[in-house]
Amino acid sequence: MDIARFIDHTLLKPEATPPQVEQLCAEAREYGFAAICINPIYVQLAASLLAGSQTAVCTVVGFPLGATTSEVKVFETEQACRSGAAEIDMVIAIGQLKAGKHAYVREDIRLVVAAAHASGAICKVIIEAALLSDAEKRMAVELAVEAGADFVKTSTGFSSGGATVADVALMHQAAGGRAQVKAAGGVRSLADAQAMIAAGATRLGSSGGVAIVHEAGGEAVTIQKDTY
């Protein structure tokens, strides 16, 4: 397997500049990453730079708190897709989930998924696992699946913790093949990447994608799937 095809090459820092995004896109073209993940302001730039490449443009919605209204999340999604985004990573309404407002959370996700799918984009749902109990993680995954999400994603990378092998395994099990799992936040080495994939992740969000590919030495990497 080509490890680069698992990686969303990510730059979401608020101080990211246009030249840094241009470098990110150049690296994505060179290494063949699955996607780049950037803030919405840079979608149009990235789409122009990656046109004709095998790398998709991914952006974030309701990021990083998830606490904007559904209407705002839908608007963000529609605008991003018009600008060239092919993948949307949205943050759930975390506080509503923790309050047991499951219908709200499901509908919030469903509306964003529908907007993404209407433009031919896929939707990944960030549950911010570090802020949730295991029961809440399972519920978040179930709600995302019910709402039609393509992926569930561990983390924004901006909260109190990132991806863990245990969370990826839990989410993979909860999804039951109905959605894929993206691990993000703290995936910095080839060993990290291999562990997350073994636990069930099919996509990795990382700002260290180039280092991971170099560590792999350009060789195909064999992953032994663990059983959880």
Mean pLDDT of 89-108: 98
CB neighbour list of residue 23: distance below 8 Å, 6 or more residues apart: none
CATH code, 59-216:
3.20.20.70
Q: Determine the Cα–Cα distance for residues 199 and 168; give it in Å rounded to an integer.
A: 6
Closest by CA position to 38, among listed 215, 222, 205, 192: 205
pLDDT of residue 181: 98
My answer on whether omega of the bond before 64 falls inside 30° of 0, hence cis, is yes
For 130-169, the pLDDT digits (tens) are 999 999 999 999 999 999 999 999 999 999 999 999 999 9
Tell me what pLDDT residue 228 has. 29
Q: State how beta strands 151-153 and 87-91 pair.
A: unpaired
Start-end of H helices in the chain = 18-31, 43-50, 70-83, 94-98, 102-118, 134-146, 165-175, 190-199, 209-216
List the chain domain ranges: 59-216
Q: Is it the case that residue 225 has pLDDT exceeding 70?
A: no
* Cα atoms found within 13 Å of the Cα of residue 201, Cβ hemisphere only: 30
The single residue listed with the structure tokens 């789409």 is 47
Q: Looking at residues 36-48, what average pLDDT do you find?
A: 98
Structural contact between residues 112 and 81, judged by C-beta atoms closer than 8 angstroms? no
Please name the residue that has the structure tokens 């030495």: 217
Task: Tell me the mean pLDDT in the region 9-16.
Answer: 98
- Within 10 Å of residue 125's Cβ, how many Cβ atoms? 29
pLDDT above 70 coverage of the chain, percent: 95
Measured CA to CA, the distance from residue 66 to residue 112 in angstroms comes to 12
| Res 227: pLDDT | 33
Residues serving a catalytic function are 89, 153, 182
Residue 223, pLDDT > 50, answer: no
**pLDDT tens for each residue of 182-203:** 999 999 999 999 999 999 999 9
Question: What pLDDT does 219 receive?
Answer: 53
